[in-house]
Amino acid sequence: MAKVVCVGEVMVELARGNDGRFGLAFAYATALGDDAYSAQILDLAASEGVQREAVLIAKGRVPGLYLITTDDRGERTFHYWRDTAPARSLFEFEGWQGVAEILVDARATYFSGITLSLYSNVGLGRFLAALEMAGERGAWRVFDGNYRPRGWGGDVARARMVFAEALKRASLAMPTFEDEAALWGDASPHATIERMTTYGVSEVVVKNGAGGALVYAEGRIVEVPVEREVHPVDTTGAGDSFNAAYLAARLKGASPEEAARAGHRLAGTVILHRGAIIPRAAQEGVSAH
């Protein structure tokens, strides 16, 4: 089991620069169209060493689009055009069984609540079944709640039900406290950990912005504060970058506390740049720590 597979939606990102103009960037991977933007996404993935064997191509379809606006504090607002994005049908396209087999064989599968909001009941059933089989093989199943009410059409009951089924199959949960409070009414990060562990999740990392992270692992809870205060330019990708650094560190054998510190460092760098993908030079600087 050598691969880490991220399951979700590739989207075209529009982020406004300091000069007021918009520039293109891309993030994530699974099902794409056969258009020029999809081709560019695949080229970017190849340049970053991301394999495309789990990416299905839907003829005549195009990826979703989102636009980011930020306020003076760097807090972002998203606007989406994604209702017909091919990623929504990943587990219903011809070839979905091959994608499921890749998940089952992977060392780790990472997904979020946004991923879950894309799929029909049929797609969800197939994806959750793949996660269950992956768990039987000892794979890591990493779930970031990332609750976005609009993605669920305001159906809180369905969101809770689907999240609960995902948590039953997750080995590592990496929620953001603000999202959990909105969906479940959690009063504190400790309450989030208590609720999630009842589903059998063995490791939980609750992100809480400037409040740091609360980590549960091996039966104990540890607070890991942010190492330095930063003034964000754009908070897009903060949670995702924390997750990426944390998971990479853990897979390399780091302790949960060390991994959380790595997550804080990368997230603290990402929010100093516009958009979800930062310049390579800035990323290499973080990796050197």
The string over 101-130, giving b where at least 16 C-beta atoms fall within 10 Å of a residue's C-beta and e elsewhere, is: ebbbebebbbbbbbbbbbbeeebbebbbeb
Question: Can you give the C-alpha Rg of the chain in angstroms?
Answer: 18
- What is the C-alpha separation between 218 and 207, in angstroms, rounded? 18
Place of tokens 């394999």: 51
- Side chain identity, residue 180: E
Q: What DSSP assignment string belongs to 244-263?
A: HHHHHHHHTT--HHHHHHHH
Phi, psi angle pair for 23, to nearest 5°:
-125, 160
Contact 237, 276 (CB under 8 A): yes
| Catalytic center residues | 240
Q: How do 56-58 and 220-224 pair as beta strands? A: unpaired
Cα dihedral 263→288→140→7 (10° resolution): 80
The 3-class secondary structure across 120-147, one letter per residue, is: CHHHHHHHHHHHHHHHHCCCEEEEECCC
